[in-house]
Chains A and B, each alone.
Chain A
């Protein structure tokens, strides 16, 4: 089943008197339970594509169907609802609320979804246990290590059972060992049947995915299935 169906999308920014074509006539389909990496150098349009896929932005022209619904003409509030229910974001800089503890950070999307307090707390706690932070629920972000912060962000992304998980350079601010741990977490999530879209410029991170889409100057340069993807398997380091 198609989760994402993009047809001839383009995005044009007006910078001064110049028009910048961040995306030019991109078409793309992503199915359920795919693990896709989007790669490209800076300026290739991968951030723009990610914003588009994450319903943070709308295309200048073209059509974007998300789970069969056309979202390219939706209002800000409708997009907010889609982001809340269907998309889980993981950012390079974690983007946690600094004054809230881990549990509250994970609860946040459920609050916006209008889930009652008890159910909300249970689900948020379960998500934190799933990412291995069952004993850190009441720590604030500045009391957690980088890897732990990113785990909180992952818990926040999966707590709503979204249709896709969209990760933008999720290991960019982590050392390679911690990065590998996060990739291991993504692998687990993928194996549970979730759809993951990973935006990165690191080849060795992209190799975790089952499909790699390469962008250049706003075009899709290459879209290939990885014959044998790299499967992380050092589970023993997970609890460090």
Chain B
């Protein structure tokens, strides 16, 4: 054991001395590993960033909310079957609300895309969300200004609107949206509230920040006929633990309301954030594999560079190997010496790469909320060490099995 410690320390000294003796070459060799490690760490960090953005975005949807819909978000039901389903209408919603005991809140939702104008300013194709005042309880919304529309405003279909933060920012750069009259699809509405920033860019127009909220009656009246389009019933469970129970109850009630007999399939879907999640994971999984493959390739090229240089180094130091062997270095010692040298170069390269990645990720942070995590740091160190050992092995083995007589004669 003591012996082993000596050999390690001696190997480290030799490695550092050799690296110092060939500074330019060592730096150039390291460059491959630096680039490899930088790209691996950045990739990991970027993936983590996208992931975080999605997670926080999706949590704005609420993990305890069910969406009863004609359409299934995911799954393998044929599109035409979904299309042939009967619409869900306000009548279904009223009956559902009356019968369901478990939900914390139930709200009907219908969407339309409309242009919103205020003076010269306009935002095209805003996702307009029509619902009742109960809608607020199915979300985790917080407000920058004002409030959500009230029960009276929603039941009497008043022309009041709540704007998502992004929409409000575009229409009212000065932040003075409250009580202003805006035009939605040519109809006058009064702004009663502005949401605080909610989700993340990843959800696109499904991000509440890019939406506007109005009483459902105004949508039916001006933007689509009541017979047209199917509504979604948003159902929020009292606690996340009660989601499954709430879902079972909802399914039973919906079947009853829709008059389905026991042998008929559901002609509605109960969607959950979870489905979005698994779908997302598939997509991101592919990106991850592809990204890591490409960055892995960079690292692989770096490793080949190291191996190449180590072969040169072994050849150059044939005489030194001969001297060491004559003096009593065992095969194992020589093997260790060169593997150590290669690992040291890679570790140094890895640390530089890590530093670069941290600096670059600070730039990336402008677009994507992310930072280099501890696991990426450990990953970088472990990967560079493994690369060094693997790339150094073949050259080191060549050195270890040299014949001392031949090696001493080498000039």
Taking beta carbons and an 8 Å cutoff, which residues of A are in contact with B?
51, 54, 56-57, 76-77, 80-81, 83-85, 89, 91, 95-97, 99-100, 108-109, 111-114, 116, 156
Contacts and interface: CB of A to CB of B under 8 A. Distances in A.
Given A95-B319, A97-B320, A114-B6, A109 B408 contact: no
Contacts of A89: 326-327
A51 B405 contact: yes
Residue of B322, B323, B327, B333 ringed by the most chain A CB atoms within 10 A: B327
Given A111-B6, A112-B333, A114-B3, A95 B328 contact: no
Nearest to B322: A95
10 contacts: A77-B331, A83-B328, A84-B327, A84-B328, A95-B326, A97-B323, A100-B17, A111-B7, A112-B327, A113-B328
Interface residues of B, number: 25
B331 A109 contact: no
A95 B327 CA distance: 10
B24 interface: no
Interface string B391-405: 000000000000011
B331 A54 contact: no
B241 interface: no
Summarize B's interface: helix, strand, loop or mixed.
helix
A80 B17 CA distance: 24
A80 B329 contact: yes
A95 B324 CA distance: 10
Contacts of A83: 325-328
B411 to A, nearest CB: 9
B86 interface: no
B325 A80 contact: yes
Contacts of A97: 320, 323
Nearest to A52: B405
B2 interface: yes
A108 B6 contact: no
A16 to B, nearest CB: 17
Interface of B: 2-3, 6-7, 10, 17-18, 21, 319-320, 322-333, 404-405, 408
Contacts of A112: 324, 327-330, 333
B403 to A, nearest CB: 8
Contacts of A84: 327-328
Closest 4 CB pairs of A and B: A84-B328, A114-B3, A112-B328, A80-B330
B328 A85 contact: yes
Nearest to A108: B327
Nearest to B411: A93
Contacts of A111: 6-7, 10
Given A51-B405, A56-B404, A95-B408, A77 B10 contact: no
Contacts of B329: 80, 112
B2 to A, nearest CB: 7
A85 B329 CA distance: 11
A149 to B, nearest CB: 13
